Chains A and B, each alone.
Chain A
Amino acid sequence: MSNMQAWDADRAQARIRELEHLPGALLPILHALQEEFGYIDPVATPMIASALNLSHAEVHGVISFYHDFRHSAPGKHLLRICRAESCQSMGCDALIQHVEKRLGVKLGETTPDQSLTVEQVFCLGNCALSPAVMLDGQPYGRVSPNVADFLIDSARRAQ
């Protein structure tokens, strides 16, 4: 997360060019843009539409369908907390309450200092070590409120 670039139309156009030849290129392009900038800027919609010969509505419809794609920049770090059944059985609801209270934000929101976005996720495939979270793409299992505090603090300290 922390290596995201600021939005740059030329770079975006270059990434679109790299991938537009693929069959079913839209998802790979959207992933590439989000990986580069952390979100998909609304101005990318017409660029993609024109590259793939789609309507703006079609591109927008795909972006809005998938939970992964964001249309505004997330915080510097991204914490995804699993809310699925396996993690529920090991107390993820309490974990989420703890994190929300501590950060003063709800799931799906970013802290006012823009340091951390907290999202819900349905299953990280780490169900034998519930409750599970993912911080900036790194998995963590058996996450107690204390462990969550530690993870959050170290991420925000590292900036």
Chain B
Amino acid sequence: MSVRVYVPRDSAALSVGAEGVARAIASEASSRGLDITLVRNGSRGMFWLEPLVEVETAEGRIAYGPVSREAVAGLFEAGFLEGKAHALSLGPTEEIPYLKQQERLTFARCGIVDPLSLSEYVAHSGYRGLRQALTLEPQAIVDAVKTSGLRGRGGAGFPTGIKWNTVLQTEADQKYICCNADEGDSGTYADRMIMEGDPFVLIEGMTIAAIAVKATQGYIYCRSEYPHAFRTMQRAIATAYENGYLGANVAGSGKRFDLEVRLGAGAYICGEETSMLESLEGRRGQIRPKPPLPALEGLFGKPTVVNNLISLATVPIILDKGADYYRDFGMGRSRGTLTIQLAGNIKHGGLVETAFGMTLHDAIYNFGAGTATGRPLRAVQVGGPLGAYFPASFLDTPLDYEAFAARKGMLGHGGIVVFDDTVDLAKQARFAMEFCAIESCGKCTPCRVGSTRGVEVIDRIIANQNRTQNLRLLDDLCELMLDGSLCALGGLIPLPVMSAIRHFPEDFDKPGPTSPALLNPEVLTADREKNPWR
């Protein structure tokens, strides 16, 4: 009998050599005359173990990792096809504590199935949510999503069911479902993992959304930095069409839903929903003032559901297992599970899906095993480039929308970027403003001009020029950007800047790089000679 061997096709796994490992396993098996079936699954999300190779045995799947091309022959020698011991053996995959301690709902199939096999998807409870939805009236589907307590996983945390309800209640000849897969926040990769590891769950979630609000056309806006995810999504959509899960007669229901994946073009701002709609319409990704809400006048002026990818990919399990099942996970007003993404200077970086409420400390130390460099942790940025920098003393913060807001932070899309003690927070604050200047859409003045002025002011602070006045000026500028910007980019970039100053004042109070020069005439002269224009 053919032995099933799993080597991920997830692009993070590919980035550390999964393709070479897969080829080596195939050629080693063929030269030994062994019959194997190589399955290219998604990633389990334990990236320090990638390439993580799994073998299906009578005792379940046995994991080996991180496997290099060079280690493949040795694995065959040791009898890994029977799940035998080897230095790289990790035992049964499901028993690895990192996975065992998680509550995987949205990511239930990711890393387990062949992402492009519709039959495997269906065999692993796929399309059960849609079947359930097709027995319900649209209002009942919307009510189930409302009851589940699902909130937008893109960062704003707006209740998904309420958004859907608005679209359902709005009469129109055409409505749209748009999936925001422009996952631009540094430290996040959950959307990418779903697109590469379980694309049908997103297709199913969007189909349920379409039936719930009576939309017939959907778009997935995938960022161009994710070419693998884009291609996987395209292939999965084609398969869904071939098998009657998309098109004029979705799963034999007589209802139509068409779906297309579109590529962004490297603009961070297109993760903002109205910019994304502009971009989908073929324009510059400049934000639209709200109101009107996209739910009333969205894509091409029609009522549109715009949801984050993780929100949509969570819908099938809510319909399948029931709203109460989902709502029973979590804390306070943050219901269900959160997909935490451990990133940056972290030893065991990866995806952790668990109920809301775990503390930052437990995420970083129990799962992440501390910094990759082994140096002390000094700062953590949660929620992407618009998220606050927290000091080590804030590690007791529970991962919950309200708890983060209370500490002037933001949970965002659940990305946690860890920095060790070599980080310079003045430099990070400067980068935040620089990033905003590069990525600002230019629509509103506080963001467009404020970000450039912000870089200049921070440069003066770092250079120790009128530091006290410039810190006051920066504070004032941040307040203006926060109050006066049209969207979250200019409106939230003060978060990382001000948190860096508040929690790490010592980094803004160092002797400036210009001061030694001023004190040392020789350096000053040397500098002058280098620059003939002075």
Interface residues of A (CB under 8 A from B): 23-28, 30-31, 52, 58, 61-62, 65-69, 82, 84-90, 121-130, 132, 134, 137-142
Contact = CB atoms under 8 A, between A and B. Distances in A.
Contact of A30 (B50, B265, B268): B265
A96 to B, nearest CB: 13
21 contacts: A26-B282, A26-B283, A62-B284, A66-B265, A67-B265, A68-B266, A85-B186, A85-B344, A86-B343, A89-B420, A122-B435, A123-B185, A124-B225, A125-B183, A127-B344, A128-B342, A128-B350, A130-B343, A132-B15, A139-B14, A141-B47
Given A27-B280, A62-B284, 16 more contacts: A24-B282, A25-B282, A26-B283, A27-B264, A52-B282, A68-B224, A85-B344, A85-B385, A88-B431, A121-B266, A125-B189, A127-B341, A128-B342, A139-B12, A139-B228, A141-B16
B300 A23 contact: yes
A129 B381 contact: no
B268 A122 contact: yes
Contacts of A125: 11-12, 183, 188-189, 191-192, 225-226, 229
A20 to B, nearest CB: 11
B267 A67 contact: yes
Contacts of B48: 128
B129 interface: no
Contacts of A124: 225
Contact of B15 (A24, A123, A129): A129
Contacts of A122: 184, 186, 268, 385, 435, 438-439
A85 B189 contact: no
Contacts of B420: 89
Contacts, number: 154
Given A27-B262, A141-B16, A130 B344 contact: yes
Contacts of A140: 15-16
B136 to A, nearest CB: 30
A140 B50 CA distance: 12
A126 B11 contact: yes
Interface string B418-429: 111001000010
B197 to A, nearest CB: 12
B186 A90 contact: no
B187 interface: yes
A67, A69, A82, A139 — most chain B CB neighbours (10 Å)? A139
A68 B225 CA distance: 9
Nearest to B189: A125
Contacts of A139: 11-12, 14-15, 228
A123 B184 contact: yes
Nearest to B346: A128
Interface in B377-436: 381, 384-385, 415, 417-420, 423, 428, 431, 435
